[in-house]
Amino acid sequence: MRTIIKNGMVVTSGSTFKADILIEGESITSISNDIATRSGDKLIDAEGQYVLPGGIDVHTHLEWPLMDTETADDFVSGTRAAAVGGITSIINFTKPKKGASLIATQEEWIEKGKKSVIDYGLHAIINEYSDRVLEELPILAETYGVGSIKLFMAYKGEMMVNDLEMYKIMKKAGELGVITNVHAENGDIIDEMIAQALAEGKTDPIYHGYTRPTLLEAEATGRALAIAEAANAPIYIVHVSCSEALEKVVEAKKRGVQAFAETCPQYLVLDISYLDQPNFEGGKYVCSPPLREKWNQDVLWRGLQTGMISVAGSDHCPFRFKDQKAMGRNNFSKIPNGLPGLEDIFSILYHFGVHEGRISLNQFVEIISTNPAKIFGIPKKGDISIGYDADLVILDPNGSRVITSESQYQNVDYNVYEGLEVQGIITNVLSRGEVIVKDGHFTGDPGRGKYLHRKRQNRDSSLHAQKNGQTRETIQ
């Protein structure tokens, strides 16, 4: 089966040019001017539109248990929303029960993911240190293609690990070329601040913001980076929300730590004032780290412009307002933490980034597709190139749409970007050559998504820290 995308403006992280794209089966087999058609070819006319690599959202929480409930999107509704929004691959987090085998957990989550509409990978969360973790990590990496794990420095009792646990786990991960995602907030002090606020009768959603200050994100970020450096391990700081935390990443990069940073659309566009709305409306915006003072947004955009932040991930962690967020109506600490965003990340980043002139179109591709594929070792994705998977998004830059929960695919009763008009309409989406969104309508099938076996980090890089007692500077 051949498909030809005709007359589109092809955009990669490195260039923009007019060309046709030939797809045979699941892969791109030719990119050139005026590819001749044969009878039986499927033709898609992309005149006046951009053809971009599909978005890769490496930060999703589908079917994810948190704070005595579970996120509202499963792998069907979540990946359908992703597809419509221009995302053709996700990496979701697993969630092991305390003491559970990481391998058994991985198997369980691969099974859950089989319903997906698009391709899916899994980061393995590790919530404790044990000999078994050390035994299972190499199996996860080699047999299951799990090139990334995740550690939490907050959510004590549920997921938080201490510094020594982090060091030991990261050391092993580093030896294996497995990158560690870190949620960096100082959980101990946050818990104390929450208890103090509640004791003073401060129960509204805004206190979620006040009890998780930027200082404690920056402190934990700096500590995580130092632990990664000591462990000689690659590290990816998820959801950097503020200037002070980003400074820690920049300092670490200067020292030669193999550190990457991610931010999320909500930190680029929304701010702490959203938490301070009456009638518990602020509860809709509770996520961790919390939304910050507005001035941080410019700093985060500069981070994306300069490459200090490599990736935008959605941190899609959706909870319904009416019965899930409502669990914390009288106590902000009981509001499940998280926002929906998987369906809109591509549009929000395109609109506020490219359309409003903060980043170039090529930088957009780099941030939403190329960098996530490279950092997390996803083969044959993140670019438009011969031999690559035909994961493609066709976007009409002249159209616009208004974001609303009325017409969204995300399985929640609100949208944090409600009423916002964004430039650019996603007209068609292809996943491994199959059209899964046609003229804006979803046409894919649950269960067609494949599990992503991922590659590990290249441990030969001169970016890696001390070898045989040499300093980084002496290793070239």
Residue ranges that bind ligand DUC, judged by CB under 6 A: 61, 66, 183, 287-288, 315, 317, 337-338
| Residue 197, number of CB atoms within 10 A of its CB | 18
Choose from Zn ion, ligand DUC, none: what does 337 bind? Cβ within 5-8 Å by kind.
Answer: ligand DUC
Query: Which tokens in the block code for residue 451?
Result: 């599990």
Name the helix (H) or strand (E) containing 122.
strand 119-125
Burial class (CB in 10 A: 0-12, 13-18, 19+), 1: exposed
Choose from Zn ion, ligand DUC, none: what does 209 bind? Cβ within 5-8 Å by kind.
Answer: none
Q: C-beta of 278: minimal distance to ligand DUC in Å? A: 22
Q: C-beta of 124: minimal distance to ligand DUC in Å? A: 15
| Residue 239, number of CB atoms within 10 A of its CB | 23
- Of 264 and 359, which CB lies nearer to Zn ion in the complex structure? 264
Q: What whole-number distance in Å separates Cα of residue 210 and Cα of residue 60?
A: 25
Q: C-beta of 327: minimal distance to ligand DUC in Å? A: 14
- Of 183 and 284, which CB lies nearer to Zn ion in the complex structure? 183
Do the Cβ atoms of 346 and 98 come closer than 8 Å? no
Say whether 427 sits in a helix, a strand or coil.
Answer: strand
- Of 61 and 381, which CB lies nearer to ligand DUC in the complex structure? 61
Choose from Zn ion, ligand DUC, none: what does 338 bind? Cβ within 5-8 Å by kind.
Answer: ligand DUC
Choose from ligand DUC, Zn ion, none: what does 456 bind? Cβ within 5-8 Å by kind.
Answer: none
- Of 62 and 206, which CB lies nearer to Zn ion in the complex structure? 62
Choose from ligand DUC, Zn ion, none: what does 431 bind? Cβ within 5-8 Å by kind.
Answer: none
Q: C-beta of 215: minimal distance to ligand DUC in Å? A: 18
Identify any residues that bridge with 56 across adjacent strands, giving them in sequence order. 89
Choose from Zn ion, ligand DUC, none: what does 310 bind? Cβ within 5-8 Å by kind.
Answer: none
Q: What whole-number distance in Å separates Cα of residue 30 and Cα of residue 53?
A: 15
CA 236 to chain centre: 11
Residues that bind Zn ion (CB under 5 A): 183, 315
Q: C-beta of 36: minimal distance to ligand DUC in Å? A: 50
Closest CA to 184 of 207, 215, 211: 215
* CA angle (369, 31, 456) in 5-degree steps: 35
Query: Which tokens in the block code for residue 8?
Result: 């589109």
Q: What whole-number distance in Å separates Cα of residue 236 and Cα of residue 178?
A: 11
- Of 185 and 383, which CB lies nearer to ligand DUC in the complex structure? 185
Q: C-beta of 302: minimal distance to ligand DUC in Å? A: 24
DSSP H helical ranges for 338-435: 345-348, 361-365, 371-375
Choose from ligand DUC, Zn ion, none: what does 186 bind? Cβ within 5-8 Å by kind.
Answer: none
- Of 66 and 311, which CB lies nearer to ligand DUC in the complex structure? 66
- Of 26 and 276, which CB lies nearer to ligand DUC in the complex structure? 276
- Of 183 and 292, which CB lies nearer to Zn ion in the complex structure? 183
Closest CA to 83 of 345, 470, 402, 260: 345
Q: C-beta of 152: minimal distance to ligand DUC in Å? A: 7
Choose from ligand DUC, Zn ion, none: what does 287 bind? Cβ within 5-8 Å by kind.
Answer: ligand DUC
> What stretches of 126-226 adopt beta strand conformation (E)?
148-152, 179-183
Q: C-beta of 152: minimal distance to Zn ion in Å? A: 7
On the CB side of 134, CA atoms within 13 Å amount to 10
